[in-house]
Structure 1
Amino acid sequence: MNGEQDALSAGWAQRYRDEQIGWDRGAPSPALEHWISAGAIQQGDWLIPGCGQGWEVDRLAGLGCRVTAIDIVPVALARVRARLDALQLQARLIEADVLGWTPDATFDGIYEQTCLCALHPSSWAAYETQLHRCLRPGGSLLALFMQTGRAGGPPFDSPLALMRELFAPSRWEWPQETPQRWPHPSGLHELAVRLRRLDTA
């Protein structure tokens, strides 16, 4: 990592050490549990960018998915590893900046929960490109778009109209149904959307 990335990692790491992690539910997201119950998640190769403490990592690994989880914060990844070891589960954990990471293969699915809203909006276009690159054609992007209704962040507001522009219909298939609203521990809420990657460059 370069100096800027080191500083970013150190800032997030301090939040973990100070337990200033209000975004962390201490359990898998209820939206993920809903998708599991609905059959939206099949065994295969799954990517979780910006996994944090990674409760979803061991949930998917426990289903038999081959999980790759990325985070820039070693403290968070160490906590994920300790929990995986205690549960006797396997997952690939990578300490990296998700925008600069190069995958060695594409994934069947991506679970996006807190990475987008943690990134400055100036990086969103690059992040969308990275997700599109990492996902195989026809693969699912399970996204939780944070709704803050205010300027600034993180978390940065991810209004649905802007997300439809970012994840353009020329590259992503949007569902017909209205996105489901899920409460967040911070008092905010997220909109759950299942996108399908189209076979486009």
Structure 2
Amino acid sequence: MNLSKGFWENKYKTNKIGWDLGEISPPLKSYFDQLTNKNLKILIPGGGNSYEAEYLFKKGFKNVYVVDISKQPLENIKNRVANFPDSQLIFADFFDLDLKFDLIIEQTFFCAINPNLREKYASKMHKYLNKNGKLVGLLFDAKLNEDHPPFGGNKEEYKTYFKPYFSLEIFTECYNSYPNRQEMELFVKFVKKGI
């Protein structure tokens, strides 16, 4: 299973991006609308076309960063939001970052990586967050594919990855998912443990 840079670039070139809602995910919009600190340094990993980054930026959150292994979606963001800072559109592998954030948003990245990287994902999230930093977003609560993304899972499995690094403050069935994801998502808000 080769989920390389080329694999993802080809998905965008051939427009095989079924995970892309074409708009901000309703649960994340609701969460963002509650945020008041516009100085938060926010990362959206594996952000793709990131309507979430666009929404935050237009609401006045100027420290929003998107990292993606594919260049095309980063260019798509720049085309939609001309004044989005180039330095905050990071063309790189998430696992190679050397930055710190107050808030990291999970939106279809966890389900896109090879499942054998899930434990590494949790430890990197912990590493990339500042003290009391938060990992917030959506995880699939469904049995999906085994040989290609999106990869599914369940709450009990996810706990094994995140409990060592985070206080699982909110970990519940999502009530306001996008229509085609109803009853398939968990909304999570994990707070970095001081380990």
- Please tell me the TM-score bracket, short chain as reference: 0.7 to 0.9
Q: Confirm whether residue 61 of structure 1 aligns to residue 61 of structure 2.
A: no
Tell me: CA distance 1:113–1:177, structure 2 relative to 1, closer, same or farther (3 Å): closer
Pick closer, same or farther for the CA change 1:177–1:120 going to 2, 3 Å.
closer
Partner of 1:154: 149
Structure-2 residue corresponding to 1:115 = 109
Aligned twin of 1:124: 118
CA deviations 1:44-97 (Å, max 9, x no partner) are 100110000111111111222211110000111110111110xx4446001111
Identity fraction in percent: 26
Q: Which amino acid aligns with 2:158?
A: M
Mapped contact 1:51–1:115 kept (Cα < 8 A)? yes
SS at structure 1 position matched to 2:32:
helix
Structure 2, unmatched stretches of 5+, are: none
Matched, 1:35 2:31: yes
- Alignment partners' CA distance in 1, 2:58 and 2:114: 32
Report the CA distance shift for 1:188/1:52 in structure 2 as closer, same or farther (over 3 A).
Answer: farther
Q: Is the 8 A contact 2:29 2:52 kept in 1?
A: no
1:9 aligns with 2:2: no
RMSD of the TM alignment (CA)? 2.3
CA contact (8 A) 2:136 2:190 kept: yes
2:127 to 126, 130, 133: 133
Q: SS where residue 75 of structure 2 aligns?
A: helix
Task: Give the secondary-structure state (helix, strand or coil) at the position aligned to 1:117.
Answer: coil
Give, as a single letter, the amino acid of the residue that structure 2 aligns with 1:81: K
Question: How far apart, CA to CA, are the structure 2 residues paired with 1:177 and 1:23?
Answer: 22
Q: 1:110·1:142 contact (CA, 8 Å) conserved in 2?
A: yes
Q: Partner residue of 1:50?
A: 46
- Flag the 1:177–1:96 CA change in 2: closer, same or farther, 3 A: closer
Contact 1:61–1:90 (CA under 8 A) maintained in structure 2: no
Q: How many equivalent pairs are there?
A: 190
Deviation at 1:8, TM superposition (A): 1.2
* Structure 1 residue 101, shift from structure 2 partner: 2.1
